[in-house]
């Protein structure tokens, strides 16, 4: 019987001797490796936090004491100690247990968390509620992997530090963000590591935190010692621990960035399954490299997720000083891009759909209000089977209702590259481009559109009675719907590629009134506040029938894509039925 077999609740951890805990750490690592090798997931962060997590559960009393893990992607060991080890030992359960905090799974997870830099703010709220109610227990935030650079973390630190009661913040310093750490703050962390926490400049002490440094963050006994020491403290306290990201799996230690999150199969050397040939990522980096070779004012910006945008180390090195990873700091990224554009540079900021929402006010005030001609590339904008914390369906309502921004939705390689180059070279508008999601599509025809004529939709196929507006990724679906409709009812529909998400083509929509009865919109994102509603509003006073298809306003959590498409009527068969119902 393994040690892990005996662990059903955190109480079981408390019964272990040090040697058993060390063995448990080994078993936990095996579980993490097997799970990630089978279904993919966060590897390095979890391998690095094993000992600290065991010590946390040995010393504290969860769920009375409350843990808030930042991003909660370092939560695998915690899950294995809180009744969910099956998610790491039983392949049938791998996908049942999520990779993040999930209060529905366990009372040991206080929040759903997936975006970074939230832990200290949330923990401060938990602690304040405790104090108001006159209760006594420990509140512990664990933050690492570069999350400290996000503004919300700082705003939280500023107020946590004056809480005047129990609050323990564990800084899990593994020397890394997803890629390298960025910025002056991380130089200070380095200096603190190198001086065993004793250097004069101490970021945390400037806020007034009690501060402890532990060099051996992967030593269970040392971790137990420090946690015993700060347990039940009555003042805001920072415990800065130095851990090894990827510990226990040498490749993850050697290449921390690649193994931060990893696809399955690495243990079986199946790593070469990388997509071959062109991708939207590869044509983007090719474009940037060529462009920058001719124009030194091109500057590429990314907030700490270069891998997700296909920005390899080699690519970043080639860009040199014309590449800025701002760290996890989307607000700064947008303001920085805006100012670069204002001062004559040509910034290209690459951000995931799920993370662009971390910077609404900067999009509005720093960028749009100033009409700065920066280019934003929005990746992974699509309905998907992602975790509830990482959906890419909200970017259209979020971006497209801000004045001045031009939000473009290319449908193929040629359009994308044309839009990208237009955006980079023009000087009138802030432009966001929703990078197509999925395999590359080529129209085979060079795009010669002048995108400075805003909100001009493109008629891809002229027909009658029914017009199908397919936004971005969904132009293909629009074409399929046309075929299905022809087959089922003999109608030869018009297919339209709007290309612009930030306005409607009034002339075209008016023209459609002549020989169309129904206009449908297909949108790879949430309907509420999105593109389709603008078309519905435009036709509100006319006889035109409008049907909008897209995602419902909801947080879906790892729902298979086919199920979502079925639910939202995003299949050609269901769409045609709906059309027939209104004809």
- Residues in 19-78 at the binding interface with a second copy, rule: CB under 8 A: 66
213 vs 249 by CB, closer to a second copy: 213
Q: Which of residues 285-344 bind a second copy (CB under 8 A)?
A: 296-297, 299, 321-322, 324, 326-327, 329, 331-332, 335-344
Binding segment for a second copy among 251-259, 361-369, 408-416, 419-427 (CB under 8 A)?
361-369
> Does 414 engage in binding with a second copy (CB under 8 A)?
no
Smallest distance, a second copy to C-beta of residue 9, A: 22
Q: Which of residues 101-140 bind a second copy (CB under 8 A)?
A: 103, 110-115, 118, 121-126, 128-133
Binding segment for a second copy among 46-54, 252-260, 450-458, 544-552 (CB under 8 A)?
544-552
> Does 358 engage in binding with a second copy (CB under 8 A)?
yes
Binding segment for a second copy among 31-39, 214-222, 388-396, 413-421 (CB under 8 A)?
388-396
6 vs 187 by CB, closer to a second copy: 187
Burial class (CB in 10 A: 0-12, 13-18, 19+), 104: exposed
Helices marked H in 60-118: 76-81, 86-89
> Does 568 engage in binding with a second copy (CB under 8 A)?
no
- Residues 449, 453, 457, 458: what is their CA dihedral angle, to the nearest 10 degrees? -20
Residue whose pair of structure tokens reads 């936090």 in the numeric block: 49
CB 155 within 8 A of CB 270: no
CA–CA dist 377, 530 (Å, integer): 18
553 vs 563 by CB, closer to a second copy: 553
- Residues 43, 46, 50, 52: what is their CA dihedral angle, to the nearest 10 degrees? 150
> Does 398 engage in binding with a second copy (CB under 8 A)?
yes
> Does 527 engage in binding with a second copy (CB under 8 A)?
yes
> Does 369 engage in binding with a second copy (CB under 8 A)?
yes
Of the candidates 169, 319, 350, 368, which one interacts with a second copy according to CB under 8 A? 368
What Cα–Cα distance (Å) separates residue 379 from each residue in 167, 280, 284, 408, 583? 37, 10, 11, 12, 37
Binding segment for a second copy among 6-14, 245-253, 311-319, 354-362 (CB under 8 A)?
354-362
CA–CA dist 472, 462 (Å, integer): 18
> Does 389 engage in binding with a second copy (CB under 8 A)?
yes
Smallest distance, a second copy to C-beta of residue 554, A: 5
Of the candidates 151, 251, 264, 265, which one interacts with a second copy according to CB under 8 A? 151
Of the candidates 75, 178, 417, 546, which one interacts with a second copy according to CB under 8 A? 546
Of the candidates 401, 426, 489, 580, which one interacts with a second copy according to CB under 8 A? 401
> Does 490 engage in binding with a second copy (CB under 8 A)?
no
33 vs 351 by CB, closer to a second copy: 351
Helices 151-160 and 119-132: crossing angle, nearest 10°?
A: 30
Smallest distance, a second copy to C-beta of residue 71, A: 11
> Does 183 engage in binding with a second copy (CB under 8 A)?
yes
Smallest distance, a second copy to C-beta of residue 524, A: 16
Of the candidates 10, 45, 150, 472, which one interacts with a second copy according to CB under 8 A? 150
Q: Which of residues 197-236 bind a second copy (CB under 8 A)?
A: 200-203, 205-209
CB 402 within 8 A of CB 363: yes
Helices marked H in 133-183: 151-160
74 vs 362 by CB, closer to a second copy: 362
Of the candidates 400, 473, 494, 497, which one interacts with a second copy according to CB under 8 A? 400
Count of residues that bind a second copy according to CB under 8 A? 119
> Does 366 engage in binding with a second copy (CB under 8 A)?
yes
CA–CA dist 534, 524 (Å, integer): 15
Of the candidates 545, 565, 567, 574, which one interacts with a second copy according to CB under 8 A? 545
What is the sign, positive or negative, of the torsion defined by CA atoms of 206, 119, 152, 124? Answer: negative
Helices 50-59 and 220-230: crossing angle, nearest 10°?
A: 40
What Cα–Cα distance (Å) separates residue 104 from each residue in 40, 96, 101, 196? 22, 12, 9, 40
Q: Measured at the alpha carbon of residue 163, what is the angle toward residues 158 and 165, in degrees to the nearest 5?
A: 145
Smallest distance, a second copy to C-beta of residue 153, A: 8
What Cα–Cα distance (Å) separates residue 222 from each residue in 113, 216, 238, 338, 579? 28, 7, 16, 47, 67
> Does 528 engage in binding with a second copy (CB under 8 A)?
yes
Half-sphere exposure of 468 (CA within 13 A, CB side): 31
Coil, strand or helix at 574: helix
CB 94 within 8 A of CB 117: no
254 vs 582 by CB, closer to a second copy: 582
38 vs 159 by CB, closer to a second copy: 159
**Helix (H) or strand (E) segment spanning residue 43:** none
Of the candidates 385, 404, 449, 571, which one interacts with a second copy according to CB under 8 A? 404
Residue whose pair of structure tokens reads 């990388």 in the numeric block: 274
Helices marked H in 430-540: 475-489, 506-512, 531-538
Of the candidates 184, 277, 444, 490, which one interacts with a second copy according to CB under 8 A? 184
CA–CA dist 30, 307 (Å, integer): 26
> Does 526 engage in binding with a second copy (CB under 8 A)?
yes
Smallest distance, a second copy to C-beta of residue 230, A: 18
CB 380 within 8 A of CB 401: no
Smallest distance, a second copy to C-beta of residue 228, A: 25
């Amino acid at each position: 019987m393994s040690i892990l077999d005996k662990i059903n609740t955190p109480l079981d951890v408390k019964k272990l001797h040090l040697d058993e805990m060390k063995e448990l750490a080994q078993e936990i690592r095996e579980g993490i490796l097997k799970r990630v090798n089978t279904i993919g997931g966060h590897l390095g962060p979890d391998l690095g936090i094993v000992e600290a997590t065991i010590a946390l559960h040995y010393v504290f009393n969860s769920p009375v004491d409350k843990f808030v893990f930042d991003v909660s992607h370092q939560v695998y060991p915690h899950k294995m100690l809180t009744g969910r080890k099956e998610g790491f030992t039983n392949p049938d359960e791998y996908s049942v247990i999520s990779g993040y905090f999930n209060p529905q799974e366990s009372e040991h997870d206080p929040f759903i968390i997936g975006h970074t830099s939230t832990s200290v703010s949330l923990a401060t709220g938990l602690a304040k509620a405790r104090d108001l109610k006159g209760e006594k227990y420990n509140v512990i935030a664990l933050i690492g992997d570069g999350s400290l650079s996000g503004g919300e973390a700082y705003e939280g630190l500023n107020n946590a530090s004056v809480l005047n009661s129990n609050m323990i913040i564990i800084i899990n310093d593994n020397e890394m963000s997803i890629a390298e750490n960025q910025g002056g703050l991380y130089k200070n962390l380095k200096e603190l590591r190198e001086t065993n926490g004793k250097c004069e400049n101490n970021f945390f002490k400037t806020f007034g935190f009690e501060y402890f440094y532990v060099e051996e963050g992967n030593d269970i006994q040392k971790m137990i010692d420090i946690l015993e020491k700060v347990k039940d403290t009555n003042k805001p306290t920072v415990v800065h621990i130095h851990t090894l990201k990827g510990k226990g799996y040498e490749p993850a230690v050697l290449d921390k960035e690649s193994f931060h999150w990893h696809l399955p199969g690495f243990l079986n050397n199946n790593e070469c399954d990388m997509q071959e040939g062109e991708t939207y990522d590869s044509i983007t980096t090719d474009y940037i490299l060529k462009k920058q070779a001719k124009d030194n004012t091109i500057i590429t910006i990314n907030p700490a997720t270069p891998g997700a945008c296909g920005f390899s180390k080699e690519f970043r090195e080639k860009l040199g000083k014309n590449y800025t990873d701002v760290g996890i700091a989307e607000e700064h990224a947008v303001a920085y891009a805006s100012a670069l554009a204002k001062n004559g540079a040509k910034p290209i900021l690459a951000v995931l759909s799920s993370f662009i929402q971390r910077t609404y006010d900067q999009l509005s005030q720093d960028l749009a209000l100033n009409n700065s001609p920066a280019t934003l590339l929005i990746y992974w904008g699509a309905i998907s089977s992602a975790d509830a914390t990482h959906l890419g369906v909200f970017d259209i309502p979020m971006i497209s209702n801000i004045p001045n921004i031009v939000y473009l939705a290319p449908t193929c390689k040629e359009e994308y590259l044309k839009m990208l180059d237009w955006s980079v070279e023009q000087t009138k508008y802030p432009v966001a481009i929703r990078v197509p999601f999925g395999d590359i599509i080529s129209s085979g025809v060079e795009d010669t559109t002048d995108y400075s004529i805003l909100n001009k939709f493109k008629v891809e196929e002229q027909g009658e009675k029914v017009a199908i507006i397919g936004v971005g990724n969904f132009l293909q679906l629009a074409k399929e719907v046309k075929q299905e409709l022809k087959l089922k009812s003999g109608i030869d529909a018009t297919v339209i590629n709007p290309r612009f998400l930030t306005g409607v083509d009034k002339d075209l929509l008016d023209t459609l009134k002549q020989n169309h009865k129904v206009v449908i919109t297909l949108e790879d994102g949430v309907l509420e506040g999105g593109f389709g509603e603008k078309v519905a509003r435009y036709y509100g006073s006319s006889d035109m029938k409008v049907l909008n298809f897209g995602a419902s306003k909801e947080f879906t959590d790892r729902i298979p894509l086919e199920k979502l498409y079925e639910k939202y009527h995003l299949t050609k068969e269901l769409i045609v039925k709906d059309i027939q119902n209104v004809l």
